[in-house]
Amino acid sequence: MFAEAKRLRLTLPLLGGAPALWRSRTTADLAADICAPVDSLAGSAQLVERLLDPLAAAFPHGEDRLDILIAGRFREGLWTASTGHIAGLFEAALWGIPATGLPAFLRYARFEKWDGGQVSEIILLLDLPDLMMQAGVWPLALPLGKRLLVPGPSTRDGYLDGEGDSLEAAASLKAVEAMIAGLMRYDGKTLSSMGMVDHWHPRFWWFGPAPIGSFCGHADYERGHQGPFLNAFPDRVGGNHRSRIGERSYVASTGWPSIRATHLGSGFLGLPRTERAVTMRVMDFWRAEGGRLKENWVFIDLVDLARQLDLDIFARMRALAPATPRQV
């Protein structure tokens, strides 16, 4: 069951897949939740017209480079979850992001719910701010972390055909859920109150959205992301999960939204406090090792978050686009 779902998912790449195949392998009432500025789509025709066709035009000779693909059950539903890159020459503008004619990597994370061999739900996040950075038109502050071409798992086993060991999957899920429970113990004052050192490998990797960056180990992560994030959103709470599945040492989770918070502090993305209530569309992929979390691939729809703060990133990008490109 899980192995077959993964094989079916491989036939539906974001680039290079036949539109007819997408139509035949999605249900008539397909619901697609896509990152801003695309947002919600209904049915395969909208999915092709508003998502797949623009990607194909921007990367006409590109490829879908897969890093992780797992399958599992969540609340009686069969799900697949995957992450990787769309890669190739960036040859035509994508939702207003100016083409460069140069090689580009666009990071993605996606979940699919399967019913009878067809996809009934798709959830997709693209790191479009990273593509803006590659085009030299990112209009906000530079990241506090290192901007990287985010790698796949160090173990090079992000996708394996077959079902995997259910006991290992359960242990991986348990490690993630224990860590999340720790996050909810934040006392509003000290990062150590969450006890994260008990849940993460001392030299863990955290690969975030490009405007946040990537980090290695607790001190680097607390400096560049956890501290600024909790200063900005000290009352954040999680929940509303659409899917959370585990396979082997991997776990993937998403909500739409999965975080609710109030913007009570300054500094995150270089923005001043607004005191606005916000939600966040998030996807996480983790790899466990020796009972602790070793790698974490994180996606946040920062374009959607910014518009809740009355900031239109695409409008600022358009104002910046005619200027000399600023490579990041």
317 touches 136 (CB < 8 A): no
Query: Whole-angstrom Cα distance, residue 95 to residue 102?
Result: 17
**Is residue 171 domain-shared with residue 311, that is, in the same domain?**
yes
* Domains of the chain: total: 2
Do residue 188 and residue 239 come from a single domain? yes
75 plus 205 within the same structural domain:
no
Quickly tell me which residue has 């999960």 as its tokens: 241
Q: Is residue 81 part of a domain?
A: yes
We report the CATH number of the domain holding residue 131 as 3.10.450.50
Residue 328: band (very low, low, confident or very high) from pLDDT cuts 50, 70, 90: low
Query: Which of 135, 155, 182 finishes a domain?
Result: 135
| 232 in any annotated domain | yes
Torsion from C-alpha of 267, 294, 241, 109, nearest 10 degrees: 80
For the stretch 203-247, pLDDT in tens is: 999 999 999 999 999 999 999 999 999 999 999 999 889 999 999
pLDDT in tens, 59-98: 999 999 999 999 999 998 999 999 999 999 999 999 999 9
Query: Do 183 and 84 have their domain in common?
Result: no
* Residue 193 in domain: yes
Q: Are 60 and 148 in contact (CB under 8 A)?
A: no
pLDDT tens for 187-214 read 999 999 999 999 999 999 999 999 999 9
d(CA 92, CA 218): 40
**pTM of the entire predicted model:** 0.96
Give the mean pLDDT of the chain.
Answer: 96
Q: Would residue 254 count as lying in a domain?
A: yes
Flag whether 78 is in a domain.
yes
Ramachandran quadrant class, 207 (left: phi over 0; alpha: psi -120 to 50; beta: rest): beta
Residues 106 and 12 placed together within one structural domain of the fold: yes
Q: Domain of residue 227: give its range.
A: 166-315
